[in-house]
Amino acid sequence: MEMNQPAGPNAIDENRHGMIGWPMDRVDGRLKVTGQAPYAYEVKEAARPAYGYLVEASIARGRISAIDSGAAERAPGVLLVMTHRNAPKQAAFGPIDMKDRFARAKPHLNDTRIEHYGEPVAFVVAESFEQARAAAGLVRVSYAADKGEYELKLNLAKAEKPKGGGGKEPDTQVGDFEGAFAAAPVKLDARYTTPFHIAAPMEPHASVAWWEGDRVVIHCASQLLESAQKCVANTLQIPPEKVRIVSRYVGGGFGNKLPIYGDTILAALASRELKRPVKCALTRQQMFHVTTHRSDTVQRLRIGATREGVITAIGHEAWSHSARFDNFYETSAECTRSLYAGANRMTRHRSVALDLPVSDSTRAPGEAVGMLALEGAMDELAHQLQIDPIALRMRNEPKLDPEQNVPYSTRQLVACMEDGARRFGWNRRQARPGQVREGRWLIGIGMSAAIRGNLLQPAKCKLQLGGDGVLTARMSMTDIGTGSYTVFTQIAAEMMGLPPDKVRMLLGDSDFPETSGSGGSWGAASSGSAVYLACEQLRAKLAQSAGIDPAQAVFAEGKITGGGKTATLAGLAGAAGVEAEGEIKPGEMDKKFSQNGFGANFAEVAVDTESGEIRLRRMLGVFAAGRILNAKLARSQAIGGMIWGVGSALHEEAVVDPRYGHFVNHDLAEYHVPVHADVPAIDAIFLPEVDDKTNPLKIKGVGELGISGAGAAIANAVFNACGVRIRDYPLTLDKVLAGLASRA
């Protein structure tokens, strides 16, 4: 099925059995908390594996001039030391313009060139992890270093218009932005910066690989199995069908596990050489350089408005970096294209090539950092105009998408703001900063809007109903901790009238029907629609077998009834069982309608006037994201995203040493993320919504909406508390103290 027209009434709408929306516990929860759900490093399907350990480059740009692996090769338990001298030849990196950038060839140890700090320069394999790690420390590498460039802010003059790597067009222009901005009675021109962010998933990247004849089997931590399969095949120069990728459980991804890395490629190569399984896990410190991160950004917001607060010109320019050999860029300005009205508009992205590890999608790419700037600028404009921030946003509510000039599929931003304001007590906010004090603490309230684009991707599902009445679904879809196993079980159980314990979800294997995996908040909509469509086909087959008109068929309690007839599903399946397949493809609806999730964030903070400390006291998010499949999981996703927003506002900042091009704080002891003490009362509410323009389930992506704009609500609350406007994230104590001193 292609999504070319709105979805009509269906069994999901009827929800006869109450499965849709039910806050059902995770079906894989017990396996996880009892340690029975094997993550990649814990897989025991192969024979006793050897263990690999990466040796990283200690320069950021240059080449290897000499390498001495002799001591490592003689170390106890060592089986192989792979370097550029003996590594099997692989395809060159790329091609750079490949549509699926995660399927590009990614060679390792192919030559002596060093492109970034931490790039693997050797791979030591031994009988135990400890032996491999100890021997890795014995590898001696000499380098001829070249001068590198590592700082975005110092190289903005070298920025270029990106070529691919972001999805949509990097620049847009509607009307005469420059002329309208120059003529506007009220102007805001603000520069915001955000730092490097690290995804830091709980589960480190890990792989175990072995060969079955000329076919490699790899268990790894991957969000996108088809892309991983093609990447390995393209790198090793073998057919894709000779690669099987398995990723049944993933301990967090956040975009960091969209690509695959040296642990996967080198484990596969070493396993082929040694003719035994090879296992490799990256250390937490290695992950900061071997895997991807979010680029830092520089953003300029220019908004022109009437004195009544009607926007007449809005411009958002964003600069980010890409690795010198890559083309990805952070799409920070895309959120500005659809959020607010304004006749004259401009968005522009520019990219600077630097000698740093690859930057790529990280936790709501684009919106997560773009809205830190946009929503901060809207708060600044509201203060400048002396208009309530919610009222300002309402005055600029568009009737059509202001750049695509098409209707919104649904848009409940105003409803989210109104509901949130009522719940949070927005009417108690003092418009003038610094008016509420509790001893040495100043108290403030802030808000922001939220928007996150909605996507539908191709996906397939295969169902099999057995004679025992158990329904089994197979998809290459992954579960990155978001609840895929659970929501798909609910969809199938509702459609087929089966209890959840009669549904089996088999996910995370590239041998299963292909999907687009988990990423971009498209997983539930895409793969869930495939499950739904496969159930539709199965219902039709069973109705035909039972001699019942499919339009009259009712599925409940493991039976089908209609037209005075009743049959059990198990009896209809028989010993041979019955199968059905479903497939979803994006169609014209995403062109005919602007599809987004919306929300509003509210935060209350306290600022210590003596130390500059910021304490979040409470936070609320109100969201509209289509039909909610599981109320508990959706709330958990939204709260998790909001906590990321807390981190973006107050904590997270990876720091590059400008002399050597490496992340100085490359572990979770020094790369700070929010902990329980940082996150007090926090809640998320979803407004009722059904969006028939998006997919047959009428749902939207939830996972990344929560982070979008959340950090800006905190920054705006800080300003309301103490009058200090910080445009350079994160909001650290020194910046608060400097602002307080300047105000004094």
What are the residue numbers of the active site? Answer: 704
Place of tokens 């100085």: 664
Place of tokens 């940082």: 678
Q: Partners of 473 in the beta sheet?
A: 463, 505
Burial, 281: exposed, middle or buried (Cβ in 10 Å; 0-12, 13-18, 19+)? buried
Inter-CA distances, 736 with 440, 606, 726, 729, Å: 14, 12, 8, 11
Structure tokens at 535: 């159930």
| Residue 594 to residue 171: CA distance in whole angstroms | 18
Q: Residue 363 in contact with residue 644, Cβ under 8 Å?
A: yes
End-to-end CA distance of the chain: 64
How would DSSP label each residue in 31-69?
HHHTT-S--GGG--SSSSPEEEEEEE-SSSSEEEEEEE-
| Residue 95 to residue 367: CA distance in whole angstroms | 27
Q: Residue 2 in contact with residue 212, Cβ under 8 Å?
A: no
Structure tokens at 625: 């994201």
E strand or H helix at 236: helix 225-236
CB atoms within 10 A of CB 515: 27
Residues 6+ apart with CB under 8 A from 291: 199, 205, 256, 259, 261, 282, 357
Q: Partners of 293 in the beta sheet?
A: 359
Q: Residue 298 in contact with residue 156, Cβ under 8 Å?
A: yes
- 3 state SS of 273: helix
Q: Residue 320 in contact with residue 297, Cβ under 8 Å?
A: yes
Residues 6+ apart with CB under 8 A from 545: 567, 572, 578
| Residue 280 to residue 221: CA distance in whole angstroms | 11
